[in-house]
C-alpha cells in the first residue's frame, strides 16, 4: 500500500458514485432512491473527509439514461437526495457531473475520458489536478485520474481491476484514516 501525500489546502477529491459513495448493484443500476444505500460507515466519516478537501466533485458514468431506464429528472432527484444526506453528515458535494451516453458509443464524457474533470475545472478554476485524488472502483476510474495526473484510490470489490492505484481501500470511509 502506497501512502498518499499530505492533504492540505487546495486539494480536490473526485469521487465515482456506484461502489464508492453508494453500494454498487452489479449488472444493474440504481433506478430509485430506495435502491441507493451509502457504503459502509461513509456517513459516520463524512465530516472528516469533507473537511479535508477544498472541492469534492462526483464524476459518474450513468448509461441508464441512454438506455432509457431512468429519466434525467429522476437521476437528478437521486443525486439531490445523495448530496443532501452527505451535506447533513458534514460532506458537501460541490458538483455532480454525469456521463449519460452509451458505454460502447462515441463516448465524449464517459470516464476514462477527461472531459468531466475539465468541466469541473471550468466551474472551479482553482482545481489543480496534481493536488487531486480520484476514488473509484474500476479501471476507467483509475485511468481517468491517471490521465490527469491525480493520485488514485481503488475501492476494492469483485470488479477485476488491472490498473495499479496509489492506494487500495475497502470503502471510502477508510480514507479518513489517511487525512
- Helix and strand numbers, DSSP H then E, in the chain: 4, 6
pLDDT at 5 over 90: no
Cα–Cα nearest to 134, from 122, 125, 142, 126: 142
Q: What is the CATH number of domain 16-178?
A: 3.40.50.1000
Which strand (E) or helix (H) includes residue 169?
strand 167-169
- The rounded distance, in Å, linking the Cα atoms of 149 and 117 is 11
Cell of 74: 429522476
Strands 167-169 and 132-136: unpaired
pTM for this one?
Answer: 0.95
**Which amino acids are annotated catalytic?**
16, 18
Domain ranges of the chain: 16-178
pLDDT exceeds cutoff 60 at 112:
yes
105 pLDDT exceeds 70? no
Instruction: Round the average pLDDT of the chain to a whole number and report it.
Output: 94
Q: What is the pLDDT of residues 136-149, one digit of tens each?
A: 999 999 999 999 99
Between 107 and 79, name the one with better pLDDT. 79
Amino acid at each position: 500500500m502506497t501512502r498518499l501525500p499530505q492533504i492540505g489546502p487546495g486539494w480536490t477529491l473526485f469521487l465515482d458514485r456506484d461502489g464508492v459513495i453508494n453500494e454498487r448493484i452489479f449488472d444493474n443500476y440504481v433506478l430509485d432512491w430506495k435502491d441507493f444505500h451509502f457504503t459502509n460507515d461513509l456517513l459516520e466519516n463524512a465530516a472528516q473527509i469533507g473537511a479535508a478537501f477544498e472541492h469534492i466533485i462526483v464524476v459518474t458514468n450513468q448509461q441508464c439514461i441512454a438506455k432509457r431506464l431512468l429519466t434525467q429528472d429522476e437521476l437528478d432527484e437521486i443525486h439531490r437526495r445523495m448530496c443532501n444526506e452527505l451535506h447533513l453528515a458534514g460532506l458537501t458535494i460541490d458538483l455532480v457531473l454525469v456521463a449519460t451516453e452509451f458505454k460502447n458509443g462515441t463516448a465524449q464524457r464517459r470516464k476514462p475520458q477527461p472531459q468531466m474533470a475539465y468541466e469541473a475545472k471550468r466551474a472551479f478554476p482553482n482545481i489543480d489536478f496534481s493536488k487531486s485524488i480520484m476514488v473509484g472502483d474500476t479501471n476507467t476510474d483509475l485511468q481517468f485520474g491517471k490521465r490527469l495526473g491525480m493520485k488514485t484510490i481503488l475501492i476494492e470489490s469483485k470488479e477485476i481491476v488491472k490498473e495499479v492505484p496509489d492506494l487500495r481501500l475497502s470503502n471510502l470511509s477508510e480514507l479518513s484514516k489517511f487525512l
